[in-house]
Each structure stands twice: as C-alpha cells, then as structure tokens.
Amino acid sequence: MDALPALTSTRPYLIRAMHEWCSDNGFTPYISVLVDKNTLVPIEHVKDNEIILNISIDATSGLQIGNEFVQFKSRFSGVVRDLMIPINNVQAIFAKENGQGMSFPKVTVMEGSVAQTDDTSKANASPPSAGANEASKRTRSHLTIVK
C-alpha cells in the first residue's frame, strides 16, 4: 500500500488568516507565544515563559508568517529588535479590541519523532494510574481576558 505524504500543519495558515481578518476589520492582531530556547524575543519582556506580541502592520517591520517561523522586527523601549518565533510556539492569535481569535494545542516534540499535539499524545498515552495527581488531569488555561 502506498504511504500518504505527510500533511503540513494548519497552524501557519490559520495564523495568517486571523492576521488578515484582524487587519481587514481594523483590529490589532496579537499573538501569545510560548518562550523556549528556540524563540528569539526580548527576554526582559517574558513572564512565566510567555510573551504577548502585537503583530499589526503598524507595529512590525518585515513581518513574515511562514510555515516554520514568524519573523519580524519591532521596537521595544525605542530599540529595534529582530524576533523569530517557531510557528509551534504560537499559542494563540487574537484581536486586542474584542478578544476574538483562536488558540492552538500545545505541540510537543519528541526525539526522533514527528511533533504531536497534546491531544494526540494523550490519545496514545497509557491510562493514568489510580493514584494519579488531580492537578495532572486538568490544568487551567494561562490566557487572560484583555479589555
């Protein structure tokens, strides 16, 4: 049987679509980014391994939302900085003015394997033991409502 080619992630396409929708409707698109060693952002603005970034046309220069990275230049405290964010580190994109947008499942990358979403890895995981910690079963969202 012929193997099907691997599908590309829908995440970059959805981020581009939401960015365009925000821009077309006069809203300011923001992204929530999980910061790790592969993320190039101003570390002094990171809180709890997360940074919220304005990616509007007015706030960025050379914005490129590619299939692997979001790249642009932006000013922080008057200093131009280069930013490079792996697409899988974008946790959400939303309009500042009304909060409409979308969030994405966390992606985990295991050595020698294809990246999986938390939903996929949970489906493939063995059932938790009877003594499993209640906190590990469900966690609260880290996102907050912006008014």
Residues 37-85 have pLDDT tens digits of 999 999 999 999 999 999 999 999 999 999 999 999 999 999 999 999 9
Q: 112-129 pLDDT, tens per residue? A: 433 444 444 344 444 444
Res. 132: pLDDT tops 50: no
Residue with tokens 């979308």: 102
Of 104 and 146, more confident: 104
Q: Are 94 and 30 in contact (CB under 8 A)?
A: yes
Other Cβ atoms less than 10 A from the Cβ of 53: the count is 22
Mean pLDDT estimate for the chain: 82
One-letter amino acid for residue 128 of the chain: P
Res. 139: pLDDT tops 70: no
Domains of the chain listed by start with CATH number: 29-121 (2.30.30.220)
